[in-house]
Structure 1
Amino acid sequence: MRAVVVPEPGGPDALVVAELPDLTPGPGEVVLDVVATAVNRADTLQRMGFYPPPPGTSDVIGLECSGRVRAVGEGVEGWSVGDEACALLAGGGYAEQVLVPAGQLMRVPDGVPLEVAASLPEVACTVWSNVFMLAHLQPGETFLVHGGAGGIGTFAIQTAKALGARVFTTAGTPEKQQLCLDLGADRAISYRDEDFVTVVSEAGGADVILDNMGAKYLESNVSALATEGRLVIIGMQGGTRGELDINALLRKRGAVIATSLRARPTAEKSAICRAVEEHVWPLVSDGRIRTMVDAEFPLEEAGKAHALMESGDHTGKILLRT
């Protein structure tokens, strides 16, 4: 099979296509013939050598995909050769075949083309597990997501709005701010020209904040929390070390949760996938959540896809087609 590999860490041109052995499923596993995969910020970090895969996971980059079942391992129930699926992965997506624990396979939502379904697993599982399963966002509460025009942001805005929250977001350009409003955000804040703390605090504060910036926004995020607010940190684009004002957090009876999806045990990820199928896929199928694909590249042009991701010029997701 063809797969994208990284012989040496580096820039987007470090990605090269190589021939690797075909895959065979073990007990509880399924092999998919990959139709498409999607590019995530974590992929660019792995390419640079900063985000190695969990032990025992494929060195091939790629955290999600869609495709057709090629082979089924011992003990797998509910899946047959030829079935269409999308999958949450710990790695391996940038390839013509991928090995997946059966619990991390999901049915493709009704009405979504198979290749477009590759854009869904990582964002859907990230948003549902963090915003709803961990932070327990409720109807009527106020939600703030940073980077609203990106893959996570566009999905988070739509999901929170569909389930009855008031939604605030940050975005860099007027065009991206308008996209966020079109997706249902009640207020799109320019992080270049406005202070999101002031805007959100004047509206009563955020009950839940989903943050991909980390250290850079830590103090500001705590300031923007409402009483009993929950800050969920899922990224470190703004650095890894920040100063936490415990007194400010105590006064708000707030919570800071730092979490990642990739390294969780298979059983946990399988439970998240089942919850996404139950709660999120119906919202996708009935159109309340739109799939957001900005660009598609063939597997051989993975470097161009990474360059687009790092430029910040995209909105929504970037796909790689096999």
Structure 2
Amino acid sequence: MYAMTIPEPGGPDALVWAEVPDPTPGEGEVLIEVAAAAVNRADLLQRQGFYDPPPGASPYPGLECAGRITALGPGVAGWAVGDEVCALLAGGGYAEQVAVPAGQLLPVPAGVDLADAAALPEVTSTVWSNVFMVAHLRPGETLLVHGGASGIGTMAIQLGKAVGARVAVTAGSAEKLAQCAALGAEILVDYREQDFVAEVKAATDGAGADVILDIMGAKYLERNIKALARNGRLAIIGLQGGTKAEINLGALLAKRGAVTATSLRTRPVAEKSAIIAAVREHVWPLVEAGQIRPVIDRRIPLSQAAEGHRVLDAGSHIGKVLLTR
């Protein structure tokens, strides 16, 4: 088969479409013929040499895909050759075929195009596991989403609204904020010109955000704690603003606040499977009912994945960038 390889770390042109050995499904795995994959920031870090795949994972980038099952490994039940699926991966999505544990599969939701389904596994798993399974967002609470126009952000807005929360977002342009509003965000903050702490406090009568989904890390830590409501929960899922910062434990203590930080790629298969099962139970009905949809910025041929990386590097996209075959 062909896959997007990284002979040497570097810029987007470090991605090389090359012939590689075909994967074979192991115990409890299926083989998928890939129809589409999605670009995630983790892929850019891997290309640059900063985020190696977990031990035993495919060396090729790509943390989610959609396609058709072409083979079943030993011990797989509940799936059949020919099934249309999307999958959460530890790597290998930028390829013609990928082997994946059966517990990380989801059926393509009714009403969703096969290729578009590639935009769902990573964002739904990340948002559901952090905002709901860890931070326990409840109806009537306020959810602050940093990077509201990103793939993660556009999904978090929709899921927050679907459960009856009030959603606040930060984004870097009027166009992005308008798209966030169209998805259901009510509190819109242009981080280039506004202080998100002041804006969220003003919009909540001084209370603050009950849950914050953060992609920035160190740069936003102090302000995120200031923006938290009493009993607020800060879920950190990205480190775009750095890895090290001081924390005022007194401020956190006074608010009875909680800070969590999680990653998805390196979790054991059993944990990923549990998240996927929760997504299938709670999120998939919303997708099939039309309440939640994948937000697609553009589609690019898989063999031109470098262009997809340039789009994410530029930061002008809204939603997900797909790589299609």
Task: Tell me what 1:62 maps to.
Answer: 62
Q: How does 1:213-228 map to 2 (within 5 A)?
A: 213-228=216-231
Give the TM-score, by structure 1 length. 0.99
**What letter is aligned with 2:63?**
L
Q: State which of 208, 212, 215 in structure 2 corresponds to 1:205.
A: 208
Q: State which of 237, 255, 265 in structure 2 corresponds to 1:252.
A: 255
Task: Tell me what 1:243 maps to.
Answer: 246
Distance 1:82 1:140 in 2: 42
**Post-superposition shift, 1:234?**
0.3
- Counterpart secondary structure, 2:158: helix
**What letter is aligned with 1:295?**
R
Q: Does 1:300 align with 2:310?
A: no
**Post-superposition shift, 1:288?**
1.0
Which range moves more in the overlay, 79-88 or 200-209? 200-209
**What letter is aligned with 2:68?**
R
Task: Tell me what 1:9 maps to.
Answer: 9
Aligned length: 322
Q: Which runs of 5+ in 2 are unaligned?
A: none
What is the aligned-residue RMSD (CA, Å)?
Answer: 0.6
Runs of 4+ in 1 over 4 A off after TM superposition: none
**What letter is aligned with 1:31?**
L
- Counterpart secondary structure, 2:211: strand
In the TM superposition, what whole-angstrom CA distance separates every residue of 1:32-51 from its partner, at most 9, and x where no partner exists?
00000000011000000001
**% identical equivalent positions:** 65
Q: How does 1:117-266 map to 2 (within 5 A)?
A: 117-202=117-202, 203=204, 204-266=207-269
Task: Tell me what 1:101 maps to.
Answer: 101
Distance 1:136 1:110 in 2: 28
Distance 2:5 2:210 in 1: 41
**What letter is aligned with 1:231?**
L
**What letter is aligned with 1:163?**
V
Q: State which of 279, 293, 305 in structure 1 corresponds to 2:282.
A: 279
Distance 2:56 2:10 in 1: 23
- Counterpart secondary structure, 2:218: helix
**Post-superposition shift, 1:187?**
1.1
Give the TM-score, by structure 2 length. 0.98
Task: Tell me what 1:80 maps to.
Answer: 80
- Counterpart secondary structure, 2:108: coil
In the TM superposition, what whole-angstrom CA distance separates every residue of 1:71-112 from its partner, at most 9, and x where no partner exists?
101110011111110000000000000010010011111100
- Counterpart secondary structure, 1:297: strand
Q: Which runs of 5+ in 1 are unaligned?
A: none
- Counterpart secondary structure, 1:68: strand
In the TM superposition, what whole-angstrom CA distance separates every residue of 1:227-267 from its partner, at most 9, and x where no partner exists?
01000000000001011010000000000001001111100
Distance 2:37 2:234 in 1: 30
Distance 1:283 1:97 in 2: 29
Task: Tell me what 1:289 maps to.
Answer: 292
**Post-superposition shift, 1:23?**
1.6
